Amino acid sequence: MLKWNDVLRYAREGNPAPDRKVTKTDAEWRAQLSPAEYQVTRQAATERAFSSAMCSAFEPGIYSCRCCDSLLFDSTEKFESHTGWPSFTQPIAPNAIAYHADDSYGMVRVETVCNTCDAHLGHVFSDGPAPSGLRYCMNAVALKKAAKAEPA
């Protein structure tokens, strides 16, 4: 189980190696994604709070990256954070997410990206529920329910 100190260490010292890497040109990403998906995942935008039904959906399943289909989160780790974005306590695997220090907008945060394709997902905070204390605050537009509920 990842804890806040693990996240900070990855953000400072480097992330675990992904199982695979997906690289595409900007034109390929634009052709694949809707304008909103592109803005969030490729330009690190943030969707409007409470703009997605995914916030209040708690059906069993696995969430994958909108861009590359890498498995990111299991619905058993999803919780109601009342923040307006889907929130999880743990990624599906320690190397599913990469972490980067983010000091934009006068705040100190940790950005989360897909470790496979570098898609911006959201941020992780240390104010989540026990036992991990983590809150992965994700942009719903960056995620999709995986076709199969099986890890790769």
Write out the catalytic residue numbers: 137
- 3-state SS, one letter per residue, for the chain: CCCHHHHHHHHHHCCCCCCCCCCCCHHHHHHHCCHHHHHHHHHCCCCCCCCCHHHHCCCCCEEEECCCCCEEEEHHHEECCCCCCCEECCCCCCCCEEEEEECHHHCCEEEEEECCCCCEEEEEECCCCCCCCCEEEECHHHEEECCCCCCC
Half-sphere exposure of 57 (CA within 13 A, CB side): 15
